[in-house]
């Protein structure tokens, strides 16, 4: 994470809501995949702001193509840089940014700047006509790479740097980002978003753009922004994380696989070493899944859209408790096949996520609203001042515990049997709530059952199979009627 963003995220902000005063650093962001701008704005006000989220990543706001059966991936094909998509128009986008910022939540836009479209031609969501290499008033044939390889200009050899960065990713017209004209066009689009208050960008398909080209584009931005790059990493490949770190953070793409493997294959010590082989914590985005992984690599990662929901929830707890990286949570929709897009209205716009009673409407999943998520976001924020591990213990397989200095304690049992022992903590003696228990209310910070830390700093307890106990200095036991 860039130092300027790190400093901004660690600034103390005060947000007052009916039941909670939030005065802590904000250290967790979320991707609300395919949500409308109106729903994102409402979620900032109703949940993300009060829960202490730092930011929300929204779907690409540019005008996208319209394809048969409205697949999710049409959002990642650029018909124009007009802000007219199935999530909403420019006015709705600007209103969302303003409302989110007013409750302490920044907006990060998913920025598609490597390519335009991968179809022969058509009309975009806002009515803009185009062909594969001709976008009137924007780009023409000369503004794209035509690498002359493999009979169709597509990337085949991922060990070849030239091919990765000059040929087409699944037929997507590859922009000639080395030219001044293209750089200026892309910078103008990003500046437009900055003018509307966007605070940062996820750079889609960054691996396919030479780092020096990105640096040239960023140099044209009107003001600083938080930038993180999608670099799907191959340690044996020619494109390395390190190339992009001078210009922003990177998404640690193997982190979700290592996390899933440690839990699935009962390897607590691998979880202890989870940061090995990744960039420094300050440079890394960590996540359990995202829109790509749950479709492209579902067998290797944990997903809410699977039969492993209990492991997925434990994975979320571990990621938010472990002091590494800038965590990104995810909320999307259930799907039956790879291409399936989000639910749409009769006007082909993203369907509202919540009904009039505030209930999540299927197939939207709203997994970020699981009870333990708000509690763990609070844990991450409150323990930021102790960004290290102490009192590590594991059985070498499927049980572990650790402290976050004197601010928090975590014990996880991902075995199939109950776990019982005395755990060493660094917490002040007293009674605490288990903040990931269904018994805990994260808004009132109350519970009906307590965990007691002794005068020697130990806590004794029984932890059921596939569950966790998380104690937080700022959540001492406060009872409520059962």
Residue 144 DSSP class: B
Which of 63, 110, 153, 230 does the annotation list as catalytic?
230
Residue 454 and residue 457: Cα distance in Å, rounded?
5
Output the six-digit token pair for 141: 């044939």
Q: Which of 369, 478, 392, 391 is nearest to 434 (CA)?
A: 478
Alpha helix positions (H), 65-170:
90-102, 161-166
Q: Which residues pair with 399 in a beta bridge?
A: 413
Residue 208 DSSP class: G
- What count of other Cβ atoms lies within 10 Å of the Cβ of residue 388? 10
Q: End-to-end alpha-carbon separation of the chain, Å?
A: 43
Is 355 noted as a catalytic residue in this protein?
A: no
- What count of other Cβ atoms lies within 10 Å of the Cβ of residue 47? 18
Q: How many helices and strands (H and E) does the chain possess?
A: 12, 22
Is 178 noted as a catalytic residue in this protein?
A: no
Exposed, middle or buried, 142 (CB in 10 Å: 0-12/13-18/19+)? exposed
Residue 326 and residue 3: Cα distance in Å, rounded?
13
User: 470: part of which helix (H) or strand (E)?
Assistant: strand 467-472
Interior/surface letters 395-434, b for 16+ CB within 10 angstroms, e for the rest: eeebbbbbbbbbbbbbbbbbbeeebebebbbbbeeebbbb
Q: Which of 415, 375, 271, 366 is nearest to 20 (CA)?
A: 375
Which of 74, 168, 204, 372 does the annotation list as catalytic?
204
35, 87 contact by CB (below 8 A): yes
Pairing relation of β-strands 55-58 and 106-111? Answer: parallel
Give me the active site residues, please. 204, 230
């Amino acid at each position: 994470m860039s130092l300027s963003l790190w400093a901004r995220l660690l600034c103390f902000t005060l947000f007052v809501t009916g039941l909670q005063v939030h005065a802590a650093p904000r250290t967790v962001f979320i991707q609300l995949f395919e949500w409308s701008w109106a729903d994102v704005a409402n979620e900032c006000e109703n949940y993300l702001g009060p829960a202490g989220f730092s930011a929300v990543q929204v779907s690409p706001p540019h005008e996208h193509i319209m394809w048969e059966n409205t697949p999710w991936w049409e959002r990642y094909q650029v018909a124009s840089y007009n802000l007219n998509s199935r999530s909403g128009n420019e006015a709705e986008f600007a209103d969302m940014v303003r409302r989110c910022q007013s409750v302490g939540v920044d907006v990060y836009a998913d920025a598609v700047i490597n390519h335009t479209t991968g179809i022969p031609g058509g009309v975009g969501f806002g009515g803009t006509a185009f062909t594969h290499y001709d976008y009137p008033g924007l780009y023409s044939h000369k503004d794209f790479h035509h690498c002359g390889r493999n009979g169709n200009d597509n990337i085949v050899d991922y060990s070849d740097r030239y091919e990765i960065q000059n040929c087409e990713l699944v037929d997507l017209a590859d922009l000639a980002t080395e030219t001044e004209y293209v750089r200026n066009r892309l910078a103008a689009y990003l500046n437009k978003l900055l003018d509307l208050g966007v605070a940062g960008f996820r750079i889609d398909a960054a691996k396919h753009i030479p780092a020096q080209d990105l640096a040239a584009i960023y140099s044209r931005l009107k003001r600083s922004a938080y930038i993180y790059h999608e670099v799907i990493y191959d340690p044996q490949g020619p494109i390395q994380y390190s190339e992009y770190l001078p210009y922003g953070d990177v998404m640690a793409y193997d982190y979700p696989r290592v996390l899933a493997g440690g839990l699935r294959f009962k390897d607590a010590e691998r979880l202890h070493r989870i940061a090995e082989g990744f960039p420094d914590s300050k440079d890394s985005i960590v996540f359990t899944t995202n829109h790509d992984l749950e479709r492209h690599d579902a067998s290797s990662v944990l997903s809410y859209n699977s039969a492993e929901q209990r492991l997925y929830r434990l994975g979320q707890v571990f990621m938010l408790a472990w002091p590494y990286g800038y965590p990104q949570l995810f909320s999307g929709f259930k799907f039956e096949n790879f291409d399936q897009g989000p639910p749409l209205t009769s006007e082909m716009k993203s369907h509202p996520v919540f009904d009039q009673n505030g209930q999540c409407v299927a197939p939207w999943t709203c997994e970020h609203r699981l009870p333990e998520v708000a509690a763990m976001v609070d844990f991450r924020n409150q323990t930021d001042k102790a960004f290290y591990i102490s009192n590590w213990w594991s059985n070498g397989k499927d049980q572990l515990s650790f402290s976050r200095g004197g601010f928090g304690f975590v014990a996880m049992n991902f075995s199939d049997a109950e776990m019982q022992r005395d755990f060493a903590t660094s917490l002040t003696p007293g009674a605490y709530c288990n903040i990931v228990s269904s018994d805990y209310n994260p808004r009132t910070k109350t519970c009906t059952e307590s965990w007691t830390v002794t005068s020697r700093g130990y806590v004794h307890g029984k932890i059921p199979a596939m569950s966790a106990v998380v104690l937080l200095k700022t959540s001492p036991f406060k009872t409520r009627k059962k």
